[in-house]
Amino acid sequence: MEQPKYDVFISYSRKDTAIADKIITAFDQAGITYFIDRQGIGGGMEFPAVLAKAIRESHIFLFLASKNSYESKFTQSEIVYAFNKKQKQDIIPYIIDGSTMPDELEFTFSAINWRRIEEHPIDTTLVDDILLKVGKSRTTGGKTETTGDEPPKVNQGVSPNKFSLLKKFNFTGKHLAIIVLSTAVALLLWSIFASKTFVENHSDTIGSVMIVLMMVTFVMAIIGYIRPASICLPDRKEVSKFYLSAFFVMFISFGIFIEKSPDTEESNTTIEQIEQVDQIEQAEENAISAINTTSTTSNETIEQPEAQTPPLTKRR
């Protein structure tokens, strides 16, 4: 593999030249070397071969993601080649507009840190991030400024099309996963310390809520294993750490809840006993009613007047 000749290979659409110019101006001021197709290809050279060689010779592959670049066949070819030749940490998707990324590209970049131009400005975050990756210091006006020991903050695992309404709060898929796991832990603690009386009195409601939470968490874990980007996480390891762990914690909580809830057999026995008592009471009422009916009939018979025998007449 060739030694890095450039710090950055810039993959972009010619329609985004205005933003590309701002980026290379910032790179020039910071002392970052770069390859961009309009200046690196001489006459008579084969275009694809030059691009492939430049990608291999660059430390960082910077993709300027936009509606224009999504439709460019050249950028798509460059992305595929970069993924075959470079480490994922050396590939930077930099979103420069608000268009929706196609599903196939979103899937391709699902395990890579995203940068947005409105959240990660060119002159600060993007430049500092690249300087850190290539091991350089910022140079401005003949002076050298260190980039610092800590990398710039990046929304890890965030797909460009997810949580757009909450982007100003920097809400990421990892934040949601932490909330789910925290809810599962809180549910476990509650199931341990909740009184048995309270559980018995609200067993139906609590049981339904716990079952729904377990099902939702399990479905999220399955979706995350199939495609981590769908739940805004970078890889399956993160899915296991948060969603699968949350499911098992909720499952344990449900087991504790079952132990504290009323026993089903005892409840059935109680219901049968109540039904038997009702049957006995009904039988008693029927018997009393029958006795009363019989007594009434007897009294009516006794009260009837005796039939009078006609008087006998003597013969003369």
* H, E, C per residue of the chain: CCCCCEEEEEECCHHHHHHHHHHHHHHHHHCCCEECHHHHCCCCCCHHHHHHHHHHCEEEEEEEECHHHHCCHHHHHHHHHHHHHCCHHHEEEEECCCCCCCHHHHHHCCCCCEEECCCCCHHHHHHHHHHHHHCCCEEECCEEECCCCCCCCCECCCCCCCCHHHHHHCCCHHHHHHHHHHHHHHHHHHHHHCCHHHHHHCHHHHHHHHHHHHHHHHHHHHHHHHCHHHHCCCCHHHHHHHHHHHHHHHHHHHHHHHHHCCCHHHHHHHHHHHHHHHHHHHHHHHHHHHHHHHHHHHHHHHHCCCCCCCCCCCCC
Q: Using CA atoms, how far apart are residues 191 and 236, in angstroms rounded to an integer? A: 29
Average per-residue pLDDT for the chain:
76
The first and second tokens of residue 109, run together, are 């970049």
Mind listing the pLDDT tens digit for each residue in 56-105?
Answer: 999 999 999 999 999 888 888 899 899 888 888 899 999 999 888 888 88
What angle separates helix 203-226 from helix 245-260, to the nearest 10 degrees?
A: 160
The answer, as to whether pTM is greater than 0.75, is: no
Q: State which of 36-40, 111-115, 277-281 shows the largest mean pLDDT.
A: 111-115
Q: At 213, phi and psi to the nearest 5? A: -60, -40
Burial class (CB in 10 A: 0-12, 13-18, 19+), 196: exposed
- Which of 70-79, 87-96, 121-130, 227-236 is predicted with the least confidence, judged by mean pLDDT? 227-236
- pLDDT tens per residue across span 256-304: 888 887 764 455 555 566 667 777 777 777 777 777 676 665 555 555 5
The full set of domain ranges for the chain reads 6-163, 173-260
CATH fold of the domain at 6-163: Rossmann fold (3.40.50)
pLDDT of residue 143 exceeding 50: no
Is residue 176 a contact partner of residue 217, using CB atoms and an 8 Å limit?
Answer: no
